[in-house]
Amino acid sequence: MNMNLPDKQPLSIEQNKPALTGLSTAEAAERLKRYGSNAVREQKAHPVSLLIKKFWGPIPWMLEVTILLEIYLGKTTEAMIISALLVFNAMLSFFQERHAQNALELLRQKLTVQSRVLRDGTWQVIPAENLVPGDIIHLRMGDFIPADVKVLDGQIQMDQSSLTGESAPVDGGKGQEAYAGAIVKRGEATGEVIATGTQTKFGKTAELVRTAKTASHLEEVVFSIVKYLVVADVALAGIVAAYSVVLKLPWHTILPFILILLVASVPVALPAMFTLTTALGATELSRKGVLVSRLSAIEEAAAMDVLASDKTGTLTENRLSLAAIKPYPPFTEEEILQFAILASDEATQDPLDLAILEAARQRKITVSAELLQFTPFDPEKKRSEGLIKQPDGTTRKVMKGAPLTLAQLSGVGEKIEEEVHEFAQKGYRVLAVAVGNDDNHLRLAGLIGLYDPPRKDSKELIQSLGDLGIRVLMVTGDDAQTAQAVAQQVGLSGNVCSVEAIKSQGERVDDSCHIFAGVFPEDKIHLVQKLQKAGHIVGMTGDGVNDAPALKQAEVGIAVASATDVAKAAASLVLTTSGLGNILSAVKTSREIYQRMLTYTLNKIIKTFQIALFLSLGFLLSREFVITPLQIVLLLFANDFMTMSIATDRVTASSKPDRWNVFSLMKVALLLALPVLLLSFGFFYTAKSLLHLPLEQVQSLMFVMLVFTGQANVYLVRERHHVWNSVPSRWMLLGTLVDVLLVSLLASQGILIPAIPFSLIGMTLAVVGLYLLLIDRLKMRVFRLARF
């Protein structure tokens, strides 16, 4: 038979099979109304129960016990303020997590499973949610099976472990059923949808974003900070308690003070601050084409120092086209292309097949053969096959696949290596075409060179990532020559290493290796693990089902825009446009977010050291409380929560990866806390001994001074250069202004605290401003000394 390939018409080589036309659009719409969408709606926890959980945990327990003790001691005002603090913290965390969940819900919508369906006689790609019973769909390696399907043709191997718990793969052939939620591990098949949505055997089809919470480096940082601060304040509280026993002070006076001292040492708002900052960052990244499915990945991206990138679709355009044909006599170029067509199938949507079929359309190739049987590409055999019947009635087998594999089957061995090498040096993806009566009587017909041009921005992108201290690795299944050619075109230098460098027994991967050739997807997780063992924070890009383990293993798993649903489900970042350009935005934005979190954290530690030491030493030296428990509680609002506007600060991204070093952080904070501690005692001595203020007014003045210095420290540590070198965000400036005005109002009007003259408040503000300018030079020396 003759088969013409007109422009813009689907090519489907399905001869000698039952004609498949699928449903019409009208039939599908009618069935969608009858059966409903192909989805199982997620059962969500009630918002009230989620809110209640915010009052359960170590930090809420500490605040709740303090509230009960305050009520028991008759201090209702303090109890009410701490209660307000507890509610505020819970509500803030609740709303931020709800915001994050809404973002994840949007992500789920964007990560809708796509299916290849035969509608109106043409193959289309539609959301799996719109599938209906009776639809004809095509499954290939890497797909989630979107509904219960009866296989009509082809052979697949499925992973049903998430459904049945059985780790062994399951084969599916003609007449067998494949169930929704399984993953196609090998092969391809066409089937008819027999059940959708809640009627499927296992009842779930599209839960792509895993909700299980995994520990992150950021959580470790928070726990380390809390540990250091609590240990330090417990020691100070013990000293104060022992001293109180010696002085025979009543316990009903000293106990609330010790409890509040401990509460002040716990960074109550730190988790909420980190959640707020990363949630705002995730929103910002979504506008830049990066969807965040795990908020902690933002912090990990700031520390990422190695990025292992796929070649196809990331560094290249993923737009394969026919570049060259090398015929071996007596075959012609047109015959080679005809054979390649018969060993391809549009229903697979395989990029290699689509490139060949598109070239056939453009050249208006006519195929004179009947396809009796088609076997899709098998990764183990490294070829696809077609059994054809020629016009003269004879049958032949055509193959398309790896050149050396077909060369060996054809008996020519290494004779074509030079031609393959020439194609590979040009960056071509090389395929061989063979034809014969059977596997034992094959003849190599020729070579086909397909070219996927590098993206125009790839070279600049690799250079930019290198300038940010990120080592870029190219990982590809191509041979070494093709990999080297593409690497040179995108400006990637370094040695080309084989997959053996990954599989070797050594703990490390050679640092000189920047290009890994001949790598299968399952090798990628071993590459990630070796890099992690060497101390690297690893980013990994991927697009296939076999990439999922590596994407999950990497601290920053990145699914490219063309990735399979499985890969997107496993990744923590999903790009919405082709290429890696958005990764640059993700890195810079993440480093800006890290700088904001660092500012808040460093300021909190400085303030904790200052307040804890000032309260404890002040009591030991003067035998008086330099500030009241109520004022300490107010400080938590004025310092911890009012400074959360840092989450919007205008900062500069670091030029190198940012990694948390809690010990260095503590050292810097202690050194910067000493000057402000001396300033605190200076104020206390001036107010008590020179101005002869009563103790109540001294305590109010000290409260105002601690609030003002808390705000000053934010500006002191917000950047790693001088205070005056950058302008903060307007929200941060507004937060400081509101804080200063509100505290000044409380102190001058005697609200909640004893009143003090407004002149003392103004003098305090001026002295703290001068302190900020003077201590800035010391800060620069401390940062350099600590290599901060």
Query: Which residues are part of the catalytic machinery?
Result: 310
Pairwise CA distance, residues 266 & 608, whole Å: 9
Listed residue (645, 649, 777, 782) closest to 724, CA to CA:
777
Q: Tell me which residue has tokens 């076997």.
A: 375
Buried-exposed string 217-231: b where 16+ CB fall within 10 A, e elsewhere: ebeebbebbbebbbe
For residues 258 and 75, the answer to whether their CB atoms sit within 8 Å is no
**CA atoms 79, 80, 81, 87: torsion sign:** positive
Preceding omega of 330 cis (within 30 degrees of 0): yes
Q: Tell me which residue has tokens 């590459």.
A: 527
Query: How large is the angle between the packed helices 695-717 and 581-622, nearest 10 degrees?
Result: 160
Q: What is the 3-state secondary structure (H, E, C) of 366-402?
A: CEECEEEEEEEEECCCCEEEEEEECCCCCEEEEEEEC
CA angle 608, 611, 612 (to 5 degrees): 80
One-character DSSP codes across 177-224: EE-TT-EEEEEEEEEEEEE-GGGSSS------S-------HHHHHHHH
561 phi and psi, to 5 degrees? Answer: -60, -35
How many Cβ atoms from other residues are within 10 Å of residue 267's Cβ?
23
Listed residue (286, 222, 232, 301) closest to 262, CA to CA:
232
Query: How large is the angle between the packed helices 581-622 and 458-467, nearest 10 degrees?
Result: 20
Type and span of the H or E element at 610: helix 581-622
For residues 346 and 123, the answer to whether their CB atoms sit within 8 Å is yes
E strands, 85-214, where? 114-119, 122-127, 136-140, 148-159, 170-172, 177-178, 183-195
Pairwise CA distance, residues 54 & 52, whole Å: 5
**CA atoms 606, 611, 612, 613: torsion sign:** positive
Taking the CA of residue 211 as centre, how many other CA atoms within 13 Å lie in the half-sphere pointing to its CB? 11
Pairwise CA distance, residues 201 & 218, whole Å: 40
Type and span of the H or E element at 234: helix 217-247
Pairwise CA distance, residues 362 & 359, whole Å: 5
Pairwise CA distance, residues 550 & 524, whole Å: 6
For residues 114 and 566, the answer to whether their CB atoms sit within 8 Å is no
635 phi and psi, to 5 degrees? Answer: -60, -35
Q: Tell me which residue has tokens 């000044």.
A: 744
Pairwise CA distance, residues 240 & 616, whole Å: 6
For residues 131 and 147, the answer to whether their CB atoms sit within 8 Å is yes
* Distances from the Cα of 364 to the Cα of 303, 317, 347, 360, angstroms: 53, 25, 20, 6
Find all residues with CB under 8 Å of 668, minimum gap 6, and list them.
602, 782, 783, 786, 788
One-character DSSP codes across 676-693: HHHHHHHHHHIIIIIS--
